Amino acid sequence: MRTPPTARRGSVLRLAQVVLLLVGSQARADDLPAVTPPATEHRFGIAASLGYDFTGDEPLIPGVSLGDRAPVSTASLNPLLSFHYNVGASTVARPENRAEFARTLLLPGAFAVTAGAAYEWSESARIRVAYPEVRVGAKVVPWRTDTTALRVGFSGGLGVFSRTFDASILLTRAVNAVGSRAKGRLLAASNSPDLWASDVSITAGFRVPRPGLGVYGEFDSYLFDSKFHVPRDGRHVFMMGVRKAFGQT
């Protein structure tokens, strides 16, 4: 049975329409700009800082630190696992009393090291949210002639950062002495049950990436029962400062 000429022409026209539709769709797709995942920011370098402690008798706190924040993968930022570390040293005055000692435990310390990890979430390449942010840190705080506090703590919280702005809020649970001998010296020197401490740290800062210069502010305060183990005037610290970075990208 032969197909009528009109039916054949209709089939050819429908086939041509399908081909034109596919070709047109491919052409429009080729005209669209390629979508590439946003690049991650790799920060590594040395930073020199000068802080001012508004609650201390000797408020100036110069310091230097070495740090890095490295992503695991640059394929995507939703989410992206990153690791970071920081090693720093500061010139802190030796505390004269329990209130100063409690405040000094919240400050950077004579020597400090931190390491952590975070999931970074982002809807754009400009602002990223690190949640959850977890850290383990240790700092050395001079107390009396034969007493040095080694504070080791675990922190958790969140952070928001971009190329020009950083902010974070962290809750920390720490022990202020490690080892029975160090604990005994600390208890004898402070005459109070302040081996364990809980505190909150809120930081925010602005910076200009090209010269690597920025300003920052930090507020730290004891929480829960920890604040009742120290004098009232030693329960919180507020500090502002400037920071100059070298070699960070």
pLDDT at 42 over 80: no
Mind listing the pLDDT tens digit for each residue in 7-32?
A: 444 554 454 444 334 444 444 444 44
143 contacts: CB under 8 Å, gap ≥ 6: 94, 95, 101, 149, 186, 189, 190
Angle at 178 between CA 236 and CA 228, to 5 degrees: 30
pLDDT score at 35? 40
Classify domain 43-246 by CATH number. 2.40.160
pLDDT score at 73? 56
pLDDT score at 192? 67
Mind listing the pLDDT tens digit for each residue in 99-112?
A: 888 888 899 899 99
The more confident residue out of 229 and 139 is 139
Confidence label for 41 from pLDDT (cuts 50, 70 and 90) = low
Taking the C-alpha atoms of residue 185 and residue 190, their distance in angstroms, rounded to an integer, is 9
The more confident residue out of 72 and 227 is 227
Angle at 162 between CA 207 and CA 48, to 5 degrees: 35
pLDDT score at 64? 94
CB atoms within 10 A of CB 128: 24
Maximal CA-CA distance, the chain: 111
Taking the C-alpha atoms of residue 222 and residue 202, their distance in angstroms, rounded to an integer, is 12
The more confident residue out of 52 and 42 is 52
